[in-house]
A = this chain, B = another copy of it.
Amino acid sequence: MKKNRLPTLSEVARQAGVGNTTVSRVINGGERVSPKTLARVRRVIDALGYRPNQAARVLKGDRTKTIGLIIPSMADPFFSSCAEAAQAVARANDSLLIVTATQNDPHTEIENLNVLVSHRVDGLLIAPANSRSQALCELVNRLSVPIVAIDRPIFNSSVSSVVSENFKGARAATQHLIEHGCERIACLTGESTLFTIQERIRGYRAAVGAAGLTCTLNTSIKDYRSAEYAIESLLDGPNPPNALFTLKNSTTIYAFEVLQKLNIAMPKPIALLGFDDFELATTLRPSVSVVQQPVEDIGRAAAELLFEKFLGTASSQQVRTARPRRILLETQLIRRSSCGCTGHPA
């Protein structure tokens, strides 16, 4: 009635009538073992359903062949796509990816970090809830595991990062609206404390400023209601906008829904352009123009950079010493209908 534990290497050895070493050799490739013994041991392994205990290997001090990924949410398409891409890289490197979600809570984030370190992951990918968190920064600097930040950098730390060109993407998007003849472009968003959002705001400001237009920014959009309120206020104001630039996915959708509800057509009298693509952007009417981020590329590049860090045999010293790399990935403006370009319906 005790826990019927999984078979161990020793048990396999006993059953096969060989020593531990031989079994160890068999499960690690079968070099230096006579074909006969090899076959016999393999048969026993199979019969017993033996699986090497990863924990024991880890204890020997080798790599654990696991890497961690800490993201705000698994249900967010952006991050789950990143995760999927990172997992592919991990698998290619014979490693396991462990994903944990923080709901953007700094406390949970640090907890997750500790859990992963306890599991001795070989490296860590993290999308920090707060790019300038003192606590996170200190923790990260003390940790000896290689870390790569994704989507958002960690300031004042030595960790490399892979992020989108938020600034350039937002500036180009705003310029695009200006080229469409819009000269009253309102910028809407929520979560303005996030690094990504701040960069996009900078981009919007830069473009609007360069064109000599006025900046209209509302960072209070958190749900449909707040979007409705914000947009109605703008329309009732002295200078109603003729374009909306939304800085994040949910805001874009809320804005679309509000305009649809108010029976205001797009792109005229109001154009809509959003940062970050989403699945049904082409199916909505009008189809929604967006700044598209290379989501998979971010996950992949970050994971690859991470593996470089602990696979650099010759130059491991260099890698360690090298100052953090900041990889910026280009965004792409997808011209559909809502901004005034003629989109392809499907």
Contacts and interface: CB of A to CB of B under 8 A. Distances in A.
Interface residues on A, range: 35 or more
A64 B55 contact: yes
A84 B74 contact: yes
Interface in A1-40: 1, 4-6
A202 to B, nearest CB: 29
A81 interface: yes
Contacts of A6: 117, 120, 144
A96 interface: yes
Interface string A98-128: 1111000000000000110111100000000
Identical chains bound together, number: 2
B96 A96 contact: no
A181 B77 CA distance: 38
A56 interface: yes
A344 to B, nearest CB: 11
Contact of A100 (B58, B96, B118, B224): B96
Given A5-B61, A260-B285, 18 more contacts: A4-B144, A6-B120, A6-B144, A49-B142, A53-B58, A55-B64, A55-B119, A55-B120, A66-B119, A73-B84, A74-B84, A75-B77, A75-B83, A75-B84, A97-B100, A98-B98, A261-B345, A261-B346
Interface of A: 1, 4-6, 49, 51-56, 58-59, 61, 64, 66, 73-75, 77, 80-81, 83-84, 87, 96-101, 114-115, 117-120, 142-144, 224, 253, 256-257, 260-261, 278-280, 283-285, 317, 345-346
11 contacts: A5-B144, A6-B120, A54-B118, A74-B99, A75-B84, A77-B77, A96-B119, A98-B99, A253-B280, A257-B345, A261-B345
